[in-house]
A and B are shown apart, each in its own frame.
Chain A
Amino acid sequence: MFKPRTFEMVKKEVLILIRRRKFLVLIILLPFVLGGLMAILPSLTTFNDVKIGLCDLDNSVLSSRFVNEVMSSFSTVIFNESESFCVEELSRGVKSDAYTIGIIVSDGFESDLSNLSKANLGVFYDNSDFRFETYLDWFIYSALSGFKTSIAREGEIKLKSEVEGVYTLAVSVQSITKGFDNVISDNVDSFVSTLELVKNLDVSFLSDPVVVNKNGVYDISSPSATAFPLVVGVLSVFTLLMLSSTSVIFDRKSKYLVRIRTSKTFLLSYLFAKCVVFFLVSLVQFTILFLLFLVLGASFNINIIGLFVVLILVSCVNTLIGMVIGFVSENETVAILFSLLLTLPFLFISGIFYPIEMFPGFIRFFAEVFPLKLEIELIKSSSVFGVHASIINLGIYCAVLGVVNWLFLKLKN
């Protein structure tokens, strides 16, 4: 009679794992490395390491003020040379990584601003790196926001002082024309109203007519906690795909699978034992990450039961995917390569580098049901929002992958 021998198989997996110390080290070390990077890096980001090459062709009071503001925020090298020299030097500097960005303050910078016209800044950057466009937009915003605000404020004061004089004159004329013909009186009244508008004008309206108030729909007290589900998901995929695939190869090479198939043991016990053991591995890694994030200031809203169920499913799905890789790979090297080959597109399609909303329609549909994306969403629901989310999709993945693995176990020579 066939019997489940899950406990015995779990013991074997744990024993083998303990004997293979290098894997144990990997399991413990990875969460620290990955979690540390994701948790610490954003808070350590500074702008001081950005090197700027700056050429002031205007040499005016306003341009100097701009230069000083840039120097106070960034590490800056100043040139006072001709335009042609500046262009050549800044291009060369950006290409050779001497500067991250090069800036030229054009001749006429101050006079344009003084005449309430737009002034020009030339920016040189590495356009061979597609990621740099986003960085550049951020830099320009950061570098100019203070200066722009002060210029706008000064322009406002100057404009309003000019308008004030005209307004006073207009009010005087209005008082005189009160008893006059309606047309003249109306025109003067209209003129005074317009001047009142201009007098009360907020100059920032001209540069930014629409104010956007960003309201996050979730009550998240700790922004760093939102990185947590991502790290857990990625780590689980990366670790479990490699570990479970190589463990199947190991069992095949040591003829453990032959022993199982020729003994009166349920084949499902083998699958179940793998899922149990790798769930424990996931739990260890999760605990390390969780504590790391807590120590670094993240706060969570945990639904314990929901999170526990999600972790079981996440580790199950990733283990079963890894086992399929193990069954189709000839040896451990191929299994590891195969795992890496799958992990990278997993990361891309799951929206880690680009939001899924940016993908074309057919890929977006595919991405919405991708395992890693589902895993991250479920972990987020139960750890950041503290709610239950539907686990049906992951449950289906588990069931299908379980059947596939069972067939491999049963039929593969």
Chain B
Amino acid sequence: MFSFLKKKKGGNVRVSVRNLVVSRGNKKIICGLSFNVSKGQIYGVVGLSGSGKSTVLKSLVGLLLKQGYVKLFGCYGYCPQEDAFFEDLTVKENLVLFGSLSGVQEEKVLKKGVVLLKQLLMFDKLDSVSSSLSGGQKKRLNIILSILHSPKIIILDEPFAGLDYYNRKVLWSFLRHLKNTGYTILLTTHLLNEAEDNCSEVLVLKNGKKFAAGSVKQILKRRGVDVVISLRTNYVNKDKEEDIKIYCKRNKVRVLELKKNSIILALSYVNKGLFYSFLSRKKIVFEEVFSRVPELDDVFLMSVENV
């Protein structure tokens, strides 16, 4: 009878966003965004620079004024894009300081901190002054400081920015480990291939709005894309270019690239055959044809090319 009084725990959902609007002055940065992040996921938010990725994360944790419904089911840890610790202090001192800010006792902080440092291959840096750390190590420390209090939800803003391949590999491995131990991770990144490999689902933003959301397969299926074909031709003149564009528009074929001697299209298997017939009718000859499984890069290109 009094079930409505019980605090809603969100079930399988850890982050719920409905009609999120964030404005700066008269300009809307985020326009009516809605998405959910399920428990135990790594959820990636991707998009062009300026599409609003960091703004979404900042509004989730209350750093920006917002309208709409935002609910985080459980405590969270936020890691900003910039290094958020004191460079004058040692790693240990930073752990204790920020751990205490999150309400964790010094002993527990150090215990947990040491474990995390070991996992991120930084154990030998415990007594080093933070300013002496490399860029990759600073990023790792930044993340560690955000999760000392064992939050249910970890929100990371561009955790891979400026990192080399090795550091990214270490970090992705760490995040997968966290996910497997029950954490829910929400992050932004520019690295589409790595996001596709590691994220359970992605949200593709364009101009502050949702362009696509879900797993890469789901996104592509919804858009009727089964395959990406690359065609290399000796010459496509303007008339033929126009014909191709009209055909693609009518038949829901996504043009990812259209140049004089190359075309990249994303389309369904059915449309693939029909498209080859169209090309032969128009007497457009191609020297090379490649087809491949579509990727998150292609979804991203679709958002850029507005298809």
Contact = CB atoms under 8 A, between A and B. Distances in A.
Interface of A: 3, 5, 8-9, 11-12, 15-16, 19-20, 254-256, 258-265, 411, 413
Interface in B72-97: 75-78, 80, 82-89, 93, 97
Given A8-B100, A12-B97, A15-B93, A256 B86 contact: yes
Identify the 10 closest CB pairs spanning chains A and B, nearest first. A255-B84, A8-B100, A262-B78, A19-B88, A262-B61, A258-B80, A12-B97, A263-B101, A263-B102, A255-B80
B84 A254 contact: yes
B163 to A, nearest CB: 18
Interface in B14-49: none
Given A254-B84, A255-B84, A264 B103 contact: yes
Contact of B75 (A8, A260, A264): A264
Contacts of B145: 259
Contacts of A254: 83-87
Given A258-B63, A263-B103, A413-B63, 15 more contacts: A5-B100, A8-B97, A11-B97, A11-B100, A12-B86, A16-B88, A20-B88, A255-B83, A256-B86, A259-B101, A260-B101, A261-B63, A262-B76, A262-B77, A264-B75
Contact of B97 (A3, A15, A261): A15
Interface in B262-304: none
Nearest to A253: B82
Interface in B57-74: 61-65
Contacts of B63: 258, 261-262, 413
Nearest to A411: B65
Given A262-B63, A262-B78, A15 B89 contact: yes
B98 interface: yes
29 contacts: A5-B100, A5-B103, A8-B97, A8-B100, A11-B97, A11-B100, A15-B89, A15-B97, A16-B86, A16-B88, A254-B84, A254-B85, A255-B80, A255-B83, A255-B84, A258-B63, A259-B84, A259-B98, A259-B145, A260-B101, A261-B62, A262-B61, A262-B63, A262-B76, A262-B77, A263-B101, A263-B102, A411-B65, A413-B64
A261 B76 CA distance: 12
Nearest to A259: B84
Nearest to A269: B101
Contacts of A413: 63-64
B101 A19 contact: no
Contacts of B89: 15-16, 19
Place the interface of chain B in its size category: 20 to 34
Which residue among A8, A20, A259, A265 has the maximum number of chain B CB atoms within 10 Å of its CB?
A259
Given A16-B88, A20-B88, A254-B85, A5 B80 contact: no
A256 B84 contact: yes
Nearest to A265: B101
B97 A5 contact: no
Nearest to B98: A259
Contacts of A411: 65
A258 B65 CA distance: 14
A258 B1 CA distance: 41
Nearest to B75: A264
Nearest to B82: A255
Contacts of A255: 80, 82-85
Nearest to B65: A411
A261 B64 CA distance: 11
Contact of A258 (B84, B87, B100): B84
Contacts of A19: 88-89
A9 B98 CA distance: 10
A254 B84 CA distance: 5
Contacts of B77: 262
B93 to A, nearest CB: 7
Which residue among B82, B93, B100, B101 has the maximum number of chain A CB atoms within 10 Å of its CB?
B101
A151 B63 CA distance: 82
A3 B75 CA distance: 14
Nearest to A413: B64
Nearest to B81: A255
Contacts of A256: 84, 86
A411 B97 CA distance: 24
A383 to B, nearest CB: 36
B3 to A, nearest CB: 23
Nearest to B64: A413
A144 to B, nearest CB: 63
A231 B103 CA distance: 41
Nearest to B103: A3
Interface in B229-266: none
